[in-house]
Amino acid sequence: MKRDRAIDCPGNPLKRRDRLSIIAEILEIAKDGALKTPIMYKANLSFAQLNEYFLFLLEKRLVEVVVKNGGTTYKTTPKGLKYLQSYKQIKNLLRTKEENNVKNAKASSDCQTYW
């Protein structure tokens, strides 16, 4: 069961991504416009998952479809860029608190076991 406890350690690469972080990752990849398949691979999502996220992102107008020379790309909108900026600010705020907690606690032995 040590493995389960390690999932709660800060910075653990095994921790599942939440919906907001996946959205931020898609928006970051699509900043300059990108095709669907590269977004899918870079965000490490299945085709079905990506389509689900795109439906949401298009509905909320965080991404837009750009058709150029017969090709379809997806580009982060100004509203999507604002989301990204806000997400990064919140993440940095939380990361700072998390890092301070880890420094003060000197990290638990369970975390050290896995890193």
How many Å apart are CA 52 and CA 19, to the nearest integer? 11
Q: Is the dihedral of CA 85, 90, 95, 96 positive or negative?
A: positive
Range of 60's domain? 2-114
- What's the burial of 109, exposed, middle or buried (CB within 10 Å: 0-12/13-18/19+)? exposed
How many Å apart are CA 21 and CA 44, to the nearest integer? 12
Write the pLDDT tens digit of every residue in 59-111.
999 999 999 888 999 999 999 999 999 999 998 888 766 666 665 665 554 55
- For the full predicted model, state whether its pTM sits above 0.85: no
Q: Tell me, what's the pLDDT at 6?
A: 41
* Percentage above 90 pLDDT, the chain: 59
Whole-number average pLDDT of the chain: 82
Structural domains counted in the chain: 1
- pLDDT tops 90 at residue 53: yes
- pLDDT tops 90 at residue 12: no
Place of tokens 């490490």: 44
94: CATH: 1.10.10.10
